[in-house]
Amino acid sequence: MEQFYEILIVIFLVVSGVFGLVGSFGLVKLADPMSRLHAPTKATTLGVGGVLIASMLHSILIEGHLSMHELLITLFLLLTAPITAHFIAKAYIHRHVTPEELPDPGGDHGWATLQKDDDENEVS
């Protein structure tokens, strides 16, 4: 049974290491900034999540005590990764994209990122 636990932990570790490496390699290798946003926010988050799961399994199955810190870190990382990606994408739109290139948002107002301060004052 010990052998089976070890194989499980090893699978988690190796898969997460490969995912982390692929995430950073995509950050260097991909061509345009918005596709470069995909690699670190998804692959690297999955990789670090795998490491944390492996650490939790290691403390439960091998050392024999329950550890909840990893769950906290996993939850925090999985919650914050989409928020940071959203902020970086917003900043990219604000700096590099003109309003003519974007599709019609379909509401009463335009894209919130590209609104001028005066327009916001008029709306509110």
Should residue 35 be labelled a site residue for other proteins when binding is judged by CB under 8 A?
no
State how far the Cα of 17 lies from the Cα of 84, in Å rounded to an integer: 22
Cα gap 116→23, rounded to integer Å: 35
Site for other proteins in 49-108 (CB under 8 A): 51-52, 54-55, 58-59, 62-63, 67, 69-70, 72-73, 76-77, 80-81, 83-84, 87-88, 90-92, 94-96
| Distance (Å, whole) CA 65 – CA 40 | 32
* CA–CA gap between residue 51 and residue 69 (Å, rounded): 13
Nearer to other proteins, 17 or 110 (CB): 17
For residue 80, the minimal CB distance to other proteins (Å) is 4
Query: Treating both helix axes as pointing N-terminal to C-terminal, what angle do 45-57 and 2-29 enclose, rounded to 10 degrees?
Result: 160
Least distance from C-beta 99 to other proteins, angstroms?
16
Please count the CA atoms within 13 angstroms of the CA of 26 that sit on its side-chain side.
18
Angle at 49 between CA 47 and CA 52, to 5 degrees: 115
Which residues sit at the interface with other proteins, rule CB under 8 A?
6-7, 9-10, 13-14, 16-18, 20-21, 23-25, 27-28, 33, 36-37, 40, 44-45, 47-48, 51-52, 54-55, 58-59, 62-63, 67, 69-70, 72-73, 76-77, 80-81, 83-84, 87-88, 90-92, 94-96, 113
